[in-house]
Chains A and B, each alone.
Chain A
């Protein structure tokens, strides 16, 4: 009878695991299937054109039917006008021009949805009269605080559900038995997290598309939110939260297995998306996030049920405290090691701790964690032993300190949720190092020019040349000429060398100022034939 019970419980546990794996496979499959998106085939005014007067209309043509999401015009003074008067005919979008366009460079920024439901975006730069000096204007970053607050709240609620809820369910099932103290709080946390997954998905979609809170009802917003890597986090988190809830109500073996799966789900959910999981090397960062998250879940989840049991002087409280105290050093060490590793990968240089928003958030989090550790140490070395021996005073104080610890953990979770808005120094450095790139195509020849990094300072230029009909072009010589007459800079002329990988390269270049440069590539096809390709390229300051 007992054996039968055991095997049926195991069957159920493996069934739950199978469901979990299935859910995982479903979402991975749907995210991977990207179809062909619409692409911009024509624009009027054309990209880079200079018009004598303001255009009478703006026109965008796409390779397939689209529906516009956001159309914005960035003016030379960096102010932004949302273009909401447009007409759609087949694959072409006619946009009404706002009155009184100033002279200078304008950027028409567009984001549309192609038929496959995927949003695509881009921009068309045109100038009225003459181009503005320097790089084309970028819209002043406008922070949508209501959206940010909502995203932060949803994320914090999700963390509460995962760490207090799922972690708590694990504690109840594995360490606290037979005590059920804190079960109601844990169920509440799990429900809160489960509910939070829904707005989290929509809010993620809004943020990805740059739309305000009012657009939350659009189906695309939800599809987009689901399509981001955060969609994976949400799906796994929801599965983990659900498993945690079930583990609170079902029988002996199933609930233990479920709560274990749920605990692993915390790690999987957080490793599926976010800055840290996106960092390289992935084989290191993703497991580190997994371990870090599970460590937090184990610790944070134990706090409330343990505190409540101790405060109520429940009979099972002391053994539970003993088991927790035995397990926590190893988990804490793993969690801290993983955390330090991730911090090093993300922050890269100590100076970035103060210089970047990400670093400052990390400092706040570390300060809170330090306070938390101080309390935990006080608990462990001053209160735990007398409490385990049944000292009433120590037990009462322990319960009180645990309550403070719980609040501190909540503050840490709220702080960590702020990271959603602060790109880590690693990513900032990566963005700064991104190359400036142009493609020039003429009948005679074409060239791809990449200037790395695409900002002022020492750079390397890489050039790939081909004939006008995409055939190989074996040139005798290639010369790069960069000029910026507006900035009063004489042409910088450098012969390119052949590193032997089919490209041409110019090393040791220094670009003195940012802005719009003219890049000319002189290709000596044969002794008597020279092809010159010219195009503008934007160099970041």
Chain B
């Protein structure tokens, strides 16, 4: 009994420290068929090193992506073709931004910052599922943290060491 309490306590302690190091999204739920403001919260560097680059992969079904410029950081929008054509207020859309890179800045390990983008969550996305934005955080000397693990069916982000930040999709209002 004591042992299980102790291990549970250890699990909680480990869980919280792990969670605070994660890159997470501020708004954890959003309806499909609407515009979503994604705020990536970066609370740590890579094991003490400052963050010098943040790369966000745009998942399929997310279009019309517009990153918010950030003082001291250079923005790069990597474009490509979508797997299918999406409807954006009546306009069929087949290509657009697939990855956003903020680089050139330096965010110390003991500092906090947010990286923001606005995007349209198409109605093709399935409500009541999680949508994940894989993020790679790069630091000097080749160090990096990859928040890219997408939980398998039946698992949640907490089951992973480096889960991708996710948002729960809701039904169209």
Chain A positions within 8 Å of B, measured between CB atoms, are: 524, 527-530, 532
Q: Give Cα A528 to B57, complex, Å.
A: 7
In the bound complex, CA of A527 to CA of B78 (Å): 14
Is B39 among interface residues, defined by CB-CB distance under 8 A?
A: no
Main secondary structure of the interface of A (DSSP, over half): strand
Question: What is the bound-complex CA distance between A529 and B146, given in angstroms?
Answer: 9
Give the docked Cα–Cα distance between A524 and B146 (Å): 10
Q: How far is the CA of A222 from the CA of B162 in the complex (A)?
A: 60
| Chain B contact residues, majority secondary structure | strand
Q: Can you offer 17 A-B residue contacts whose CB atoms are under 8 A?
A: A524-B146, A527-B55, A527-B57, A527-B136, A527-B146, A527-B148, A528-B57, A528-B134, A528-B136, A528-B146, A528-B148, A529-B134, A529-B148, A530-B146, A530-B148, A530-B149, A532-B149
- Residue of A at shortest CB range from B149? A530
Please, what's the 1-or-0 string for B140-170, where 1 marks a CB less than 8 Å from any CB in chain A? 0000001011000000000000100000000
Cα A530 to Cα B57 with chains together (Å): 14
Scoring A524, A527, A528, A532 by chain B CB atoms within 10 A of each residue's CB, the highest score goes to A528
B149 to chain A, nearest CB (A): 6
CB distance from A180 to the nearest CB of B (A): 86
CB distance from B106 to the nearest CB of A (A): 21
Contacts of A524 in B (CB 8 A): 146
Q: Which residues of A contact B149 (CB under 8 A)?
A: 530, 532
B158 CB to closest chain A CB (Å) equals 16
Report the minimum CB–CB distance from B39 to chain A (whole Å).
20
Question: What is the 8 Å Cβ interface bit string for chain B, positions 28-50, against chain A (1 contact, 0 not)?
Answer: 00000000000000000000000
A527 to B98, CA, bound (A): 13
Q: Which 6 A-B pairs have the closest CB atoms?
A: A528-B134, A528-B57, A528-B148, A530-B148, A527-B136, A530-B149
Q: Which of B123-150 contact A (CB under 8 A)?
A: 134, 136, 146, 148-149
Question: How far apart sit A529 and B147, CA to CA, in the bound complex (Å)?
Answer: 10
Give chain B nearest CB distance to A227 CB in angstroms.
Answer: 48
Residues of B within 8 A of A529 (CB): 134, 148
Taking CB atoms, residues of chain B closer than 8 Å to A532 are 149
Q: A528-B134, A530-B148, A530-B149 are in contact. List 13 more A-B contacts (CB 8 A).
A: A524-B146, A527-B57, A527-B146, A527-B148, A528-B57, A528-B136, A528-B146, A528-B148, A529-B134, A529-B148, A530-B146, A530-B162, A532-B149
CA of A467 to CA of B65, assembled, Å: 32
What is the chain B residue whose CB lies nearest that of A529? B148
User: How distant is the Cα of A528 from the Cα of B149 in the complex, in angstroms?
Assistant: 8
- Distance in angstroms between the alpha carbons of A449 and B1 in the assembled complex: 38
Identify the closest chain B residue to A491 (Cβ): B161
Which residues of chain A come closer than 8 Å to B134, judged between CB atoms? 528-529
B50 to chain A minimum Cβ distance, whole angstroms, is 20
| Residue numbers in A under 8 Å from B148 (CB-CB) | 527-530
Cβ contacts under 8 Å, B146 to chain A: 524, 527-528, 530
Q: List the B residue with the shortest CB-CB distance to A481.
A: B161
Q: Shortest Cβ distance from B61 into chain A, in angstroms?
A: 16
Distance in Å from the Cβ of A480 to the closest Cβ of chain B?
A: 14
User: Cβ of B55: which chain A residues have Cβ within 8 Å of it?
Assistant: 527
CB-nearest residue of chain B to A532: B149
Chain A nearest CB from B65 CB (Å) reads 15
Cβ contacts under 8 Å, A528 to chain B: 57, 134, 136, 146, 148
Per-position binary interface string of chain B over residues 86-97, scored 1 when its CB falls under 8 Å from any chain A CB and 0 otherwise: 000000000000
Q: What chain B residues lie within 8 Å of A530 (beta carbons)?
A: 146, 148-149, 162
Nearest chain A residue, comparing its CB with the CB of B152: A532
| Bound form: Cα–Cα A369–B55 in Å | 78
Within the complex, what minimum Cβ distance (angstroms) separates A130 from chain B?
Answer: 16
| Bound Cα distance A533, B91 (Å) | 42
Closest CB of chain A to B79's CB: distance in Å? 16
B11 CB, nearest partner CB in chain A, Å: 12
Bound Cα distance A528, B164 (Å): 9
CB B46 to nearest CB in A, in angstroms, measures: 14
A527 surroundings in chain B (CB, below 8 A): 55, 57, 136, 146, 148
Q: How many Å from the CB of A491 to the closest CB on chain B?
A: 9
Chain B minimum-CB-distance residue to A493: B161
| B33 CB → nearest A CB, Å | 25
C-alpha spacing A527/B136, complex, angstroms: 7
Q: How near does chain B come to A476, taking the closest CB pair, in angstroms?
A: 10
Closest CB in chain A relative to B3 CB, distance in Å:
11
